[in-house]
Structure 1
Amino acid sequence: MPVLTPLAAAVLLLAALPAHADWRVTPTLKVAETWTDNVNLTEDELAYSDLITQISPGFKLSNQTRRLTVNASAQLHTFAYLHDSDKRNRDGSFGDGENDSVSSVRRSYRANLRGELAQDLLYVDATASRGQQNISAFGPRITNDQYSNANRTDIDTWSISPYLLKNFGSTAAGQLRFTRDSVGGGDNIGFRRTGGNTLLASLVNGPAFRTVGWGVTYTKQDLNGGRYGDSSSEMLATNLRYMVNGRFSLLANAGYDRYEFEGLGGGEQGANWSLGFAWTPSSRTSLQATAGRHFYGNTGNLMALHRSRHTSWNVSYNDVITTSRQQFTLPSTIDTAGLLDRMFSTAYPDPVVRAQVVQAYIDQTGLPPSLSDSINYLSNRFMRQKRLQASMVYRKGRSSAVLSAHASDRSAISDQQSDSPLLGSQQGRYSDNVRQRGFEANYTYRLNSRSNLTARYDIDESESRDRGYKSTQRVFQLGVSRRFGETIGSVDLRRRSGDRFNAGTYTENAISASLFKTF
């Protein structure tokens, strides 16, 4: 019943809007055959080969009008296997089935809605998603093998967020937002389903303040965690900005945070402050940096953007208190479309036209829509996360490339007890202090107007700093694709290797041929 909440809100929204909304429904179908020599991603001596047939019908739904924007897609993935289940299900890794290392049916969907209920006053955002997520930081990573359950489960999320926007002349602008959301899907493995209520109120300066800018934001969130306990957070943030000249500004921030959760300690709270600057030497380059102190120690933030004729760069660093749940509701990914958007901004100044050009370019070249900056494993705990990430997109002639590197440290600040049902007491202690490093490279060479050659390399390392344990995962993929009207055919080779938590190493070689058609 709760999952219907955002859908019901969407229906009410549609009823309030004009009937000439421009809806577009596009049916899709994917058919694939995959042969792998290690279907259950287990130790080499226990590996079994298999031939997997995949049939995935789906659809895309979109609407773009002044008062309503909707983008949604959904797929039903069905899998058939050549060999008996007793061979492919010999797997001791974490998974969402009852000792099943593969699935027969899987659903995935993603939807975003933004609407204007009352002109220039009342708005609503709604989202829903379902997809695979890694369970542990130490184990096989998710790739395009949607049939596998190795170290993964399906997580579903939804949110509905009505909000008011109000301008007070040229003096200030205010926002009052309420968000109701839910994250779950891993109850059978101990990842609690939580419902959240978040209130946000903010007031920022208007155009009357040209030299000095200011802002105040208050946020309160309550989470209902069922048998794992409730938690809450409350934050007050203020900021000042002094413009020295048109390109350089000084920044000051101050606030107070409070976190309450079940377990030993019961919570954390304290004041924070930071000082910094914002520098925009040209329309192609910007840099913003702050440094200060939080109740958990010294902290800082960095955001640097740069674009040239053939490249677009993004470097960022942040230090925050977060949860796995928050990472799912606000996905931490590097957006390829965003990088390309900045690159095309000079040639296509109109943002609507530019978005269409960017999407067409991604479809044509086969570049991934996003790159993960770190592996978001499941945890019921609050953690401090320090994350550095850098990405670059390159486009020249027939070549396109997206490069991404990330480094993160996650230190748990709430009690390990809430993770015992999820990982067990032993592995729960391995997740107390996790360091992750990774690099991903995607390259596309356009053979002609219809065909592309693609290559991908991905390496990720997770280390338990308290236990001295490391897990390394590598994936190399080479493929060729060709467009036949509304159909895209592709053939891909994949080699993967890595460690399994306290269970040796594994390798996999696979070949896949697929057809994807839009109707």
Structure 2
Amino acid sequence: MRIKPFGTLLGSLVLVHVGAAAQAGSWDFTPRVSVSQTYTDNVNLVPRSEDKESDSVSQLNTGFSLQRSGGRTDLSLGYNLQSLAYWEDDGRNTVYHQFAGTSTTTLIRETLFLDASASYGQQLRDSRDGFAGDNISTTDRSDVARYSVSPYWRQGFGSFATGELRYAWDKVDYQSGGITSNNSENQRIQATLNSGPRFTTVGWTLSYSWDESTYDDGTDVTLESLEALVRLNLSPQFSVYAAGGDERNRYNRAAEAADPDDTFWRAGFTWLPGPRTSLDAFYGERFFDDTYGLTFSHRFRHATWQVNYSESITSLARANAANGGGNLPDDTDTYISKRLTISASGQRSKLSWGGAASREERLYQTEGRGDEDISSVSANLGWRVAPRTQATLSSQWQRSDYDRDSRKDDLWNVGLGLSRTLGANTSAAIEYRYQERDSNQDDFDYQENRVTATLSRTF
């Protein structure tokens, strides 16, 4: 396995440096180790038409977490060394490195700050291969490093206004051959100026955004916008607003795609009927069509519900840098995203639960790529069976429809687990998981049953 950890090492050095620079605050260092044994009846996730290979996999995870709070810096990072040994075919044996860290540092009190982050892990090269929950299945994946640095300045102008200016630099670096040309470097400048307490009935906001993604294959994407918003506060609970501006975008696009340089506008309202409920909705027009937005949340006594709908234009590089993957990394492209998400979670007595549903339509701007529709539903349930014993049930479903190859897939994943605390620093768990992919194309269906037993300890 080849590892090129320079970027991640650089990011982690930034994290540790800014943490060590502060004089006050406390450090919390926690080493950890876990041993797992997994049996799978389809280690390669081969189609139903082929003979499945079963295997037993021994897994050793050793690592640590480091946290710091207080003073000028808040820091959180963790490292894990994952070793996998396959009993039936030791040629599959491998080692993975996994790292994630974030920090926020106050450089000048109440004025200048610095955010930094770095991560190193594994990602499926094709998100249609399955739910990327672990590295047991020998499907095609790549090591990927992500790191970012973002200084920002906040300034108050008396009762007139408050402002923020932020610069962000980040990089996505795939380590495997074949997709390294899609490594990307991203830069973003964001500036906002909001009306201060002097403005009570009428408020306003000025905002500017410039976002550039540059790929190693020579292509680039630039998204730029300037917006002015005016808000009329009709009551402490209800306000209406209108906004307009101009956007200038540059990216590869098909001849029939809409011109991405245009003016835009939107109008909407914000309603806060009580301390537990909020609603914001708007309608407007952008270069690609009429556009809508919705954000709703309500908190019950034992549960919280949220609904969000958004329409935006983004690049695959920006999406991967922001959310850690989930897109196909073998393309440099730009798409218009129309996404609806509904989520709920709650807890009462010994029972905790959560669920989410989403649907996203991706309208790609290059010729021949086609569009994508991705729908998903997930749910989890936790039950405290005894003071030191927890039972869990989880499920996921995803349907994807890709125009570029007329492929439609359904992915299923169901897990049932039981965990128990054996001591102050020791726990044990056992889990059964079933996953399946159904496809309208031959040789893409598979099924897998898996059982995993784990013993964990922190020091």
TM-score w.r.t. the length of structure 1 is 0.81
Counting only pairs closer than 5 Å after superposition, residues 296-315 of structure 1 correspond to structure 2 as 296-315=288-307
Q: Does 1:204 align with 2:200?
A: no
Structure 1 letter corresponding to 2:425: E
Aligned mates of 1:312, 1:321 — CA distance in 2: 29
From 247, 255, 268, the counterpart of 1:276: 268
Residue deviations 1:102-125 (CA, integer Å, cap 9, x gap):
661112221110010111111100
Counting only pairs closer than 5 Å after superposition, residues 157-306 of structure 1 correspond to structure 2 as 157-185=146-174, 188-190=177-179, 192-262=182-252, 268-306=260-298
Q: 1:490 to 1:4 in 2, by over 3 A?
A: closer
Structure 1 letter corresponding to 2:418: V
Q: 1:197 to 1:103 in 2, by over 3 A?
A: farther
Residue segments in structure 1 that go unaligned for 5+ positions in a row? 87-101, 333-371, 417-428
C-alpha displacement at 1:517, in angstroms? 1.5
Residue segments in structure 2 that go unaligned for 5+ positions in a row? 1-5
- 2:217 counterpart SS class: helix
Q: Does 1:146 align with 2:138?
A: no
From 360, 384, 395, the counterpart of 1:457: 395
Aligned mates of 1:411, 1:60 — CA distance in 2: 40
Name the % identity.
Answer: 28
Aligned mates of 1:32, 1:444 — CA distance in 2: 22
From 428, 448, 451, the counterpart of 1:508: 448
- 1:189 counterpart SS class: coil
8 Å contact kept, 1:249–1:277: yes
8 Å contact kept, 1:408–1:436: yes
Aligned mates of 1:73, 1:164 — CA distance in 2: 28
Aligned mates of 1:73, 1:11 — CA distance in 2: 12
Equivalent position of 1:377 in the other structure: 328
Equivalent position of 2:31 in the other structure: 27
Q: 1:208 to 1:454 in 2, by over 3 A?
A: same
Structure 1 letter corresponding to 2:451: I
Equivalent position of 1:40 in the other structure: 44
Q: 1:493 to 1:160 in 2, by over 3 A?
A: same
Q: 1:172 to 1:155 in 2, by over 3 A?
A: same
8 Å contact kept, 2:12–2:117: no
Equivalent position of 1:345 in the other structure: none
Q: Does 1:136 align with 2:100?
A: no
Structure that is richer in strand per residue: 2
Q: 1:256 to 1:228 in 2, by over 3 A?
A: same
Segment of structure 1 superposing worse, 222-231 or 117-126: 222-231
Aligned mates of 1:508, 1:477 — CA distance in 2: 12
From 90, 94, 98, the counterpart of 1:104: 94
8 Å contact kept, 2:252–2:365: no
Q: Does 1:68 align with 2:70?
A: no
From 407, 432, 453, the counterpart of 1:493: 432
- 1:299 counterpart SS class: strand
Structure that is richer in helix per residue: 1
Equivalent position of 2:377 in the other structure: 439
C-alpha displacement at 1:230, in angstroms? 2.6
Aligned mates of 2:27, 2:320 — CA distance in 1: 28
Q: 1:225 to 1:518 in 2, by over 3 A?
A: same
8 Å contact kept, 1:13–1:117: no
- 2:375 counterpart SS class: strand
Structure 1 letter corresponding to 2:294: L
Aligned mates of 1:83, 1:481 — CA distance in 2: 28
Segment of structure 1 superposing worse, 320-329 or 434-443: 320-329
- 1:150 counterpart SS class: coil
Runs of 4+ residues deviating >6 angstroms? none
Segment of structure 1 superposing worse, 34-43 or 182-191: 182-191
8 Å contact kept, 1:496–1:507: yes
8 Å contact kept, 1:142–1:152: no
